[in-house]
Amino acid sequence: MKKSGVRSQESGVRKNARGTDLSVNIAGIELKNPVMAASGTFGYGEEYTPYVDLNKLGAIVVKGLSITHREGNPPPRIVETTAGMLNSIGLQNIGIDSFINEKLPFLRKYDTKVIVNFFGDSIDEYCEVVKRMDSVDGIHGLEMNISCPNKQEGWLEFGTNPDLTFRVVSAVRKNTKLPLIVKLSPNVTDITVIAKAAADAGADALSLINTLSGMAIDIRTRKPKLANIIGGLSGPAIKPVALKMVWQTAKAIKLPIIGIGGIMTYEDAIEFMLAGASAIQVGTANFIDPAASEKIVDGMKSYCEQNGIKDINEIIGCIPA
Amino acid sequence: MQAIILENKKIINSYYKMKLSCDGILRPTAAGAPSPGQFMMIKVSPHYDPFLRRPMSFYRIDEKEGVLEILYQVVGKGTEIMSELKEGDSVDILAPLGRGFSIPEKMERAILVAGGIGVAPMVALAEKIRGKGQGARGKITVFIGGKTKNDILCKEDFKRIGAKVYIATEDGLMGKKGTCVDLFRSSEFENPQSAIRNPQSVIFACGPHGMLKAVADIAKDRDMPCQVSLDKRMACGTGACLGCVVKTKQKTEDRRQKTEVYKCVCKDGPVFDAEEINWEET
Ligand SMILES: Cc1cc2nc3c(=O)[nH]c(=O)nc-3n(C[C@H](O)[C@H](O)[C@H](O)COP(=O)(O)OP(=O)(O)OC[C@H]3O[C@@H](n4cnc5c(N)ncnc54)[C@H](O)[C@@H]3O)c2cc1C
Ligand SMILES: Cc1cc2nc3c(=O)[nH]c(=O)nc-3n(C[C@H](O)[C@H](O)[C@H](O)COP(=O)(O)O)c2cc1C
Ligand code: FES
Mean pLDDT, residues A9-22 taken together: 58
Confirm if A225 and A216 have CB atoms less than 8 A apart.
yes
d(CA A50, CA A52): 6
Q: By mean pLDDT, which of A185-194, A236-245, B25-34, B124-133 is the weakest?
A: B25-34
pLDDT on residue B178? 85
Show the 3-state SS of chain A.
CCCCCCCCCCHHHHCCCCCCECCEEECCEEECCCEEECCCCCCCCHHHCCCCCHHHCCEEEEEEECCCCECCCCCCCEEEECCEEEECCCCCECCHHHHHHHHHHHHHCCCCEEEEEECCCCHHHHHHHHHCCCCCCCCCEEEEECCCEECCCCCEEHHHCHHHHHHHHHHHHHCCCCCEEEECCCCCCCHHHHHHHHHHCCCCEEEECCCEEEECEECCCCEECCCCCEEEEECHHHHHHHHHHHHHHHHHCCCCEEEECCCCCHHHHHHHHHCCCCEEEECCHHHHCCCHHHHHHHHHHHHHHHCCCCEHHHHCCCCCC
Amino acid symbol at A232:
G
Which of B29, B48, B235 has the CB atom closest to A78's CB atom?
B235
Total domains in chain A come to: 1
Confirm if A290 and A213 have CB atoms less than 8 A apart.
no
B271-273: strand order across its sheet: B176-177, B164-169, B140-146, B109-115, B201-206, B226-229, B271-273
d(CA B157, CA B146): 16
**Residue A19 within a domain:** yes
Q: How sure is the predictor about B63, in pLDDT bands with cuts at 50, 70 and 90?
A: confident
d(CA A307, CA A259): 22
Calculate the average pLDDT of chain B.
Answer: 87
Tell me the per-residue pLDDT of A24-80, one tens digit each, with 9 for 90 and over: 999 999 999 999 999 999 999 998 998 999 999 999 999 999 999 999 999 999 999
Which of B48, B52, B232 has the CB atom closest to A75's CB atom?
B232
CATH topology of domain B109-229: Rossmann fold (3.40.50)
Task: Return the biggest CA–CA distance within chain B.
Answer: 57
Q: Which of B79, B154, B211, B212 has most ligand 1 atoms within 8 Å of its beta carbon, as the pocket-test mutant?
A: B79
Q: Which of A126, A210, A212 has most ligand 2 atoms within 8 Å of its beta carbon, as the pocket-test mutant?
A: A210
Asked if the model's pLDDT at residue A319 lies above 90, the reply is: no
Asked if the model's pLDDT at residue B14 lies above 90, the reply is: yes
Mean pLDDT, residues B221-238 taken together: 93
Residues 145..184 of B with a Cβ closer than 8 Å to A: which? Answer: none
Give the distance (Å) from ligand 1 centre to CA of residue A189. 38
Give the distance (Å) from ligand 2 centre to CA of residue A140. 20
**Residue A1 within a domain:** no
- Ligand 3 closest atom vs CA A287: 2
Mean pLDDT, residues A279-294 taken together: 97
**Residue A78 within a domain:** no
Asked if the model's pLDDT at residue B185 lies above 90, the reply is: no
Tell me the per-residue pLDDT of B104-136, one tens digit each, with 9 for 90 and over: 887 888 899 999 999 999 999 999 998 866 555
Give the distance (Å) from ligand 2 centre to CA of residue A114. 16
Q: Looking at domain B2-97, which of 3.40.50.20, 2.40.30.10, 3.90.380.10, 3.40.50.300 is its CATH number? A: 2.40.30.10
Tell me the per-residue pLDDT of B39-60, one tens digit each, with 9 for 90 and over: 999 999 999 999 999 999 999 9
Indicate yes or no: CB of A286 within 8 angstroms of CB of B240. Answer: yes
Mean pLDDT, residues A302-313 taken together: 94
pLDDT on residue B267? 95
Confirm if A198 and A143 have CB atoms less than 8 A apart.
no
Supply the DSSP symbol for B235.
S
Q: Domain map of chain B by residue range? A: 2-97, 109-229, 234-271
Which of B238, B246, B247 has the CB atom closest to A47's CB atom?
B238
Asked if the model's pLDDT at residue B194 lies above 90, the reply is: no
- Whole-prediction pTM: 0.92
Asked if the model's pLDDT at residue A4 lies above 60, the reply is: no
- Catalytic residue status for A304: no
Mean pLDDT, residues A124-130 taken together: 95
ipTM of the complex: 0.90
Tell me the per-residue pLDDT of A82-95, one tens digit each, with 9 for 90 and over: 999 999 999 999 99
Percent with pLDDT over 70 in chain A: 94
Calculate the average pLDDT of chain A.
Answer: 92
> B109-118 b/e with 16+ CB inside 10 Å = b?
bbbbbbbbbb
Find chain A residues with C-beta within 8 A of B52's C-beta.
80, 85, 287-288
Chain B interface mutation, best of A48, A73, A80, highest count of B Cβ atoms under 10 Å? A80
pLDDT on residue A211? 96
pLDDT on residue B184? 83
Q: Can you give the CATH number for the domain in which A207 is found? A: 3.20.20.70
Give the distance (Å) from ligand 1 centre to CA of residue A237. 23
Give the other-Cβ count within 10 Å of A11's Cβ: 17
Indicate yes or no: CB of B235 within 8 angstroms of CB of A87. Answer: yes
- Ligand 3 closest atom vs CA B245: 4
Show the 3-state SS of B54-94.
EEEECCEEECCCCEEEEEEECCCHHHHHHHHCCCCCEEEEE
Angle in degrees, 0-180, between the axes of helices A191-200 and A239-252, rounded to the nearest 10: 50
pLDDT on residue B107? 85
pLDDT on residue B251? 67
Residue-number span of the structural domain to which A135 is assigned? 11-72+89-213+233-315
